[in-house]
Amino acid sequence: MPKLRVIFIQSILSSLSTIVALSSTEMIYRGGPASFLRWMWQYPSNAVYLFFLLFLFFLSLLLFNYKGFFIGTVLTILLFSFLAFAGFTKEKLRGDPILPADIEMAGEAKNMLQFFSKLSSTTILIILLVIIAILGTIVFFYRRIENHKGTRLFYFPSAFALVLLMVFLSQDLFITDGFLKKSFSVHINNNNQKQNYQENGVLLSFLRNTPSVSAERPDQYSSNEMKAITDKLDRQKGKKIVDKDKPNIIIVMSEAFWDPTVMNNVQFNKDPLPNFHKLTKGYSSGTVFTPVYGGSTSNTEFEVLTGMTNQFLPAGSVPYKSFIKKPLPSLPNILRSQGYETTAIHIYHNWFYDRNVIYRLLGFNQFVSLEFFPKPVNDMMYYRDNEVTDEILKQLHASDKPNFIFAVTMQNHGPYRTDAKKFYATMHAKNKGRAFSPSGKNILEFYADNLVEIDKELLKLVSNLEKSKEKTIVVYFGDHLPLLGENYQVYRESGYFYDDQKYKDYLKMYQTPLLVWNNFGAKREELHLSSSFIGPYVLNMAGLQGYYLTDFLTKLQSEGKSFLPRRDYLKYSSLAPKDLQTYKHLQYDLLFGKGYGLQNEADLDIEPSKNYRLGIADPHITRYEVASFRGRKAVLLKGDYLTSSCRVYINGVATDSTFINENTVYAYIPKGVEPKSIQMKIFDNKETLLAASNKVEID
């Protein structure tokens, strides 16, 4: 009887822990008990399957006796709850589930979340009190738990459960049609992760994606196979043109740029994009199909710059963070090999998405990040596009070489306020069907007001380039649709789309406007390109030489095969299975393989620029004089490439300063200090030193 009593207690403890863990996790992830019960009703076998695996897990924790079991159970439930909350939040904001690859984005997410929530001191106090109460309760119960005097019988069920758990989990993760999955009629749709999570729960779905954090090796990948593929490709050798005839190429990836006038049920008081719409009538234009919705800008960026596609990578992965570890034959490398000055511009922190490292590997000569803009102006939450436009024009005038400039803007980044307007607000919107909710209406108008300002910057850029005698191409498009409220709020209220589970809605969710402007009379075309086709299209338009991957994509585009949708919608793509197989082999060889195909590309130099740097140049002090400024003793500094991010050091100690412009700064002399030397340094918000000026000795 005592033996049966021990086994009974273990079963009860494991069952209760499983019930608490399963219900709390899925209720948090699904947004409440009603949704949780609905899932249990719709997918009972999936729920029982998950319950069975969790039961084995908690039973195996009894290997650590009762106290260890208690601590392990508490930590597990807290960890599961955190994962569920992160999944709920991401899905509510972005529409896609949390994946293992998101762990790598913790730094970026933390930086962005400051714009999504501003907790009051009262809320913070309540949270702290709740945490203290929970910790107190845990300590109270832990101290009252008595460990069992271990016997073989006590540990045998736990050990047996651990062995079973390992067997079943390994089968679940690595065998598609495992015995256990078949027994419970569990279906896994790796092509549609959102549906996967809804059917199978957040815990197992997250775990199942763990083996997929590395790319799948294509069948028959070898040097002979790659040679056979590249030998069959029709190379489109670009015409040899002299440097003075090579056009400047400017690609502007405008943050969350989209045309809200395509929503038929929405009426605006005026066109928010009059200049863009006018330009599209005279120049090549259309749509770009992007790999992301509402965020993950760098994934679209990756496709544009490399010609590779996220569709051949693990779901939810971020190539900049996970896969780019070596130089690649990307657009900046291709153009640098042909005499171009290659510049990346982004008015945000240099380290975001590891751009400071990735841009070097992709072939840029310099990266002008937020820290190197003279005096960026904050537009309520992010920095204006005006400064980006000025920096583009400045770089064009500064270099005698043909320029390739890739600019990523930030002014239009979400979230879009539900309760405030910008000082320049002029837009009003109404829904022709049922009225917008107050928050939905404000979100859309806030976004439309952003577009008005962004549209002015596009006109400013084009107007300046029209005056130039240098041939220039401007590619302007959005990296993804804007997040117009949680759970597609504005899109749902306007009846535009509801989610991406239907193909027609998927097309709307992943399609942004595209403009390709030029000042040398190129023929106008109607374009519908996946973002990986943009680079090859521009090279062909400019008459420049690419390499076998860009030529392959150019050929596909000429055949009307420039649309590569998500895997579960591949049947709608015009790409043949053979095209996809070739594309996948070429990409794998470049990104993960041995680079067999590059052995015949003698003209392509993909080694990083030896002169790669952040900013165009270091700040430089040309002269100084002791002066008085705002009633304080100061040193007036004159120089070049000075920015508002510069810190001034007098005698090696940081001092207060006032930035006037990129040529003038006042540094205040501390009381009682006799200045002997002065220097300026630029740091980012992680306190990393990025640049330093010359050190001036003061007489």
Question: How far, in Å, CA of 177 to CA of 129, rounded?
Answer: 48
Given a cut of 80, whether residue 196 has pLDDT beyond it is no
According to the model, what pLDDT value does residue 248 have? 95
pLDDT in tens, 333-390: 999 999 999 999 999 999 988 999 999 999 999 999 999 999 898 888 889 999 999 9
Expressed in percent and rounded to 5, the helix, strand and coil fractions of the chain are: 50, 15, 35
pLDDT at 286: 96
Residue 137: per-residue pLDDT = 64
pLDDT for the residue 4: 67
Rounded Cα distance between 134 and 128, Å, is: 10
Q: What is the overall mean pLDDT for the chain? A: 85
- Is pLDDT at 73 greater than 60 in this prediction? yes
Given a cut of 90, is residue 391 above it in pLDDT?
yes
Tell me, yes or no, if the two domains 223-613 and 617-697 fold the same way.
no
Q: Residue 500's pLDDT is what?
A: 79
What is d(CA 424, CA 177) in angstroms, rounded to the nearest whole number?
58
Determine the Cα–Cα distance for residues 297 and 526; give it in Å rounded to an integer: 25
What is d(CA 78, CA 72) in angstroms, rounded to the nearest whole number? 10
Average pLDDT of span 641-654: 91
First-residue to last-residue Cα distance in the chain? 95
Is there a contact between 619 and 639 (Cβ–Cβ < 8 Å)?
yes
- Pick from 441, 429, 422: which is nearest to 490 by CA? 441
More confident position, 248 or 153: 248
At 135-173, the pLDDT tens digits run: 666 666 656 666 766 666 677 788 888 888 888 777 766
In this predicted structure, the answer to whether residue 2 has a pLDDT above a threshold of 60 is no
CA distances from 260 to 284, 289, 528 (A): 20, 16, 18
Split at pLDDT 50, 70, 90, the class of 469 is confident
Most confident of 63-72, 105-114, 220-229, 521-530: 521-530
Q: Which has more confidence, 530 or 230? A: 530
Q: For residue 12, what pLDDT is reported?
A: 83
**Eight-class DSSP state of 337:** T
Q: Does the N-terminal peptide bond of residue 415 adopt cis geometry, omega within 30 degrees of 0?
A: yes
Integer Cα distance of 596 and 588 in angstroms:
10
405 phi, psi to nearest 5 deg: -120, 125
Contact by Cβ (8 Å): 557, 525: no
Amino acid of residue 25: T
Q: Residue 640: its pLDDT value, please?
A: 92
Instruction: Output the pLDDT for position 116.
Output: 47
- Mean pLDDT, range 658-685, rounded to an integer: 89
Range with lowest mean pLDDT among 58-67, 110-119, 150-159, 255-264: 110-119
Q: What's the fold here for domain 617-697?
A: Immunoglobulin-like (2.60.40)
Q: What percent of the chain has pLDDT over 70?
A: 85
Look-up of token digits 């040679």? 227
Alpha carbons 345 and 409: distance in angstroms, whole number: 8
82-128 confidence digits (pLDDT tens): 888 888 877 776 666 777 766 665 555 555 555 444 555 666 566 56
Q: What is the DSSP string of 63-99?
A: GGHHHHHHHHHHHHHHHHHHHHHHHHHHHHHHSS---
**Looking at the domain 223-613, which fold is it?**
Alkaline Phosphatase, subunit A (3.40.720)
Percent of the chain with pLDDT over 90: 41
User: 536: helix, coil or strand?
Assistant: helix
What digits encode the pLDDT tens for the residues 405-451? 999 999 999 888 888 888 889 999 999 878 889 999 999 999 999 99
Of 546, 412, 535, 560, nearest to 475 by C-alpha is: 535
Spatial contact of 303 and 330, defined as CB atoms under 8 Å apart: no
Cα separation, 50 vs 29, in Å, equals: 15
Identity of the highest mean pLDDT range in 211-220, 248-257, 305-314, 320-329: 248-257
In the predicted structure, residue 199 carries a pLDDT above the cut 90: no
In this prediction, residue 115 carries a pLDDT of 46
Question: What is the structure's pLDDT at 370?
Answer: 94
> Span 606-625, mean pLDDT?
90
Taking the C-alpha atoms of residue 247 and residue 243, their distance in angstroms, rounded to an integer, is 9
Residue 454 and residue 479: Cα distance in Å, rounded?
14
Asked whether the predicted pLDDT for residue 210 surpasses 80, the reply is no
Mean pLDDT of 520-534: 93
Q: What is the 3-state secondary structure (H, E, C) of 115-180?
A: CCCCCCHHHHHHHHHHHHHHHHHHHHHHHHCCCCCCCHHHHHHHHHHHHHHHHHHHHHHHCCCCHH
pLDDT digits (tens, 9 = 90+) for 308-323: 999 988 877 888 888 8
Which among 100, 97, 16 has a CA at the least distance from the CA of 59? 16
Q: Which residue has the higher pLDDT, 33 or 533?
A: 533
Q: Of the given ranges (132-136, 236-240, 599-603), which has the lowest mean pLDDT?
A: 236-240
The Cα–Cα gap between 624 and 648 comes to: 13
Mean of pLDDT values over 617-636: 89
Residues 196-217, mean pLDDT to the nearest whole number: 73
In the chain, where the domains are located = 2-213, 223-613, 617-697
Residue whose C-alpha is closest to residue 141's, from 72, 81, 77, 71 = 71
Cα 109 from Cα 101, distance rounded (Å)? 12
Nearest alpha-carbon partner for 214 in 357, 330, 83, 325: 325
